[in-house]
Amino acid sequence: MKLAILGSGFISRFYADSLVAQRRKDTIVSVYSRTEVNAKKFADDYGVPHYSTSIKECVSHPDVEAVIIGLSNDMHLIAVLESASAGKHVLCTKPLGRNAAEALQMLQAVDKAGVTGGYLEDLCYTPKFLKSLTAVKNGSIGEVIWAKSRETHPGPHSDWFWDKEKSGGGAMIDLGCHCVEISRNFIGKNIRPVEVMCWADTRVHPIDAEDNAIGLVKYENGAIGQFEVSWTFRGGMDLRDEVMGTEGTIWANNFLRTGFEMFTTGKGSNYVAEKAETNAGWLFPVGDEVHELGYSHMFTDMFDSIDKGIQPAETFYDGYIVNAILDAAYLSAKTRQWEPVQLADWRGVAEQKQVKEMSSYNEEYYLIKEEVLPTGEKKYIIKHKKTGSIERR
């Protein structure tokens, strides 16, 4: 696959590192940046033969087959529209839009053009996430009834993130998009999100957007997705997921404490990991940051899907659903009430009823709980099916 990258900053370099780090057939043939000096430096650093300060010129380059968008949120829409107009497959970094209205325009544009719209949600491609999702789909933890995802760190790198107009919000739009999509995967993407309750506040930074937020997303089958996000967490980047099912539980620490610890006086002054706040004392480096953050698996899925003419695991439609959920979260933070998720385009199941199947102890009783006492004796808590009385046996 011959690629154009739009953007020359932090995330675009992460993407490029993933693409050129190991021997693979995909190559970057063109790069766009708003300033020529940045475009040229990126091209020089990664051996890219063509660079431009025009999005249209970059995506229309005859060698380009697919476009990767690593731009600020306010530029996603125009970049997608230009790519779709040029008939190029387009892969866009998260969040897809600043809101659901923008995301829906992008989804409709790629659908109309008949090109692939890949949603670059890297945290849905980390090794631990992929293995966890396989376990969930195989029924290892039963029906998922609660999924929680947490992303917190000291704040983003680029200035535009802190500008509410350019970004579309604060910590929620930046980090909550990850957390919402992680929970959607575990609960089931075909299950409709119905309403959101959210708290958000600006606790530390002198900005107009929120730097902390907590939200609950209720799904049609009764499951709950929970997100916790912050731009004020001190000590690095904390990425954790928890999934609770009727038959089991998953806990995953994806980044901050992964079993790799190092002490240093700081003499070497080397890079430790993304969002690390210090290079001295006890540190928690990441072995292969690009791989651990999911970029390798993500691009493999994207390009394989384009080759095969199928949809990748994360699509523009997923990005649209995430934006719609976050729109409801922002509204809920203002009204302090549960707010409905407004979906103009729903492609999941028509309706998912809450079905509760009670375990039976015997023909007369339901089984509430079974456990083994320290003596080795088994204890049962049971409920009579007709009278509702509860007893222990």
CATH label of the domain that carries residue 77: 3.40.50.720
70 and 150 together in one domain: no
Q: Give, in order, the Cα–Cα distances in Å from 241 to each of 49, 216, 244.
A: 41, 15, 10
> Is residue 385, in this structure, part of any structural domain at all?
yes
**Which three-class secondary structure string do you get for 165-210?**
HHHCCCHHHHHHHHHHHHHHHHHCCCCCEEEEEEEEECCCCCCCCC
**Looking at residues 213-229, what average pLDDT do you find?**
98
> Is residue 19, in this structure, part of any structural domain at all?
yes
- Residue 38, pLDDT > 80, answer yes
- Residue 372, pLDDT > 80, answer yes
- Residue 207, pLDDT > 80, answer yes
For the chain, how many structural domains are there in total? 3
28 and 163 together in one domain: no
285 and 162 together in one domain: yes
- Residue 140, pLDDT > 80, answer yes
**Looking at residues 108-130, what average pLDDT do you find?**
97
386 exposure class (CB count in 10 Å sphere: 0-12, 13-18, 19+): exposed
What is d(CA 74, CA 97) in angstroms, rounded to the nearest whole number?
8
> Is residue 51, in this structure, part of any structural domain at all?
yes
Residue-level pLDDT at 269: 62
Asked whether the beta carbons of 162 and 209 are under 8 A apart, the reply is yes
- Residue 27, pLDDT > 70, answer yes
214 and 328 together in one domain: yes
pTM of the model: 0.92
Residue with tokens 């079974």: 370
**For the segment 268-300, what is each residue's pLDDT rounded down to a tens digit?**
766 666 667 777 888 777 788 888 889 999 999
Which one, of 176, 226, 162, lies nearest residue 330 by Cα?
176
> At residue 326, what is the residue type?
L
135 and 266 together in one domain: yes
145 and 79 together in one domain: no
Domain residues for the domain of 90 are 2-94
> At residue 177, what is the residue type?
C
- Residue 28, pLDDT > 80, answer yes
CATH number reported for the structural domain that contains residue 149 in this entry? 3.30.360.10
**Looking at residues 96-105, what average pLDDT do you find?**
98
**For the segment 177-190, what is each residue's pLDDT rounded down to a tens digit?**
999 999 999 999 99
- Residue 1, pLDDT > 70, answer yes
**For the segment 314-330, what is each residue's pLDDT rounded down to a tens digit?**
999 999 999 999 999 99
Residue-level pLDDT at 317: 98
What is d(CA 227, CA 123) in angstroms, rounded to the nearest whole number?
14
Residue-level pLDDT at 12: 94
229 and 260 together in one domain: yes
pLDDT band at 23 (very low <50, low <70, confident <90, very high): low
- Residue 266, pLDDT > 90, answer no
Which one, of 117, 74, 123, 120, lies nearest residue 94 by Cα?
120
> Is residue 215, in this structure, part of any structural domain at all?
yes
Q: 144-158, 207-221, 261-275, 375-389 — which is least confidently predicted?
A: 261-275
Contacts of residue 336, defined as CB under 8 A and 6 or more positions apart, other chains included, come to 199
